[in-house]
Amino acid sequence: MTAMSDPHTDDSNPTPRKAEDIWAQRRGKNLAILATIMGLAVLFFVVTILRMS
């Protein structure tokens, strides 16, 4: 029989335990999405200006 660890008792679970950790992770993800959207907006603006000239 092979030894299998129970996934519910495994200490290598990457999910944060504290509410502060969850909020920090969510904030980081939201900031990355914001940066991506702003970058795309700037890119579309630059492409539009270049095509008009």
Domain presence at residue 36: yes
Q: Say which residue, 6 or 23, is predicted with more confidence.
A: 23
Is residue 25 within 8 A of residue 16, CB to CB? The reply is: yes
Q: How far apart are CA 2 and CA 44, in angstroms?
A: 56
Is residue 16 within 8 A of residue 22, CB to CB? The reply is: yes
Q: What's the pLDDT tens digit per position in 32-51? A: 999 999 999 999 999 999 99
Say if residue 3's pLDDT is above 80: no
Domain presence at residue 44: yes
pLDDT band at 15 (very low <50, low <70, confident <90, very high): low
Is residue 5 within 8 A of residue 11, CB to CB? The reply is: no
Domain presence at residue 48: yes
Domain presence at residue 46: yes
| Range of the structural domain that residue 43 is part of | 20-53
Domain presence at residue 25: yes
Tokens of 43: 């890119």
pLDDT band at 53 (very low <50, low <70, confident <90, very high): confident
pTM: 0.60
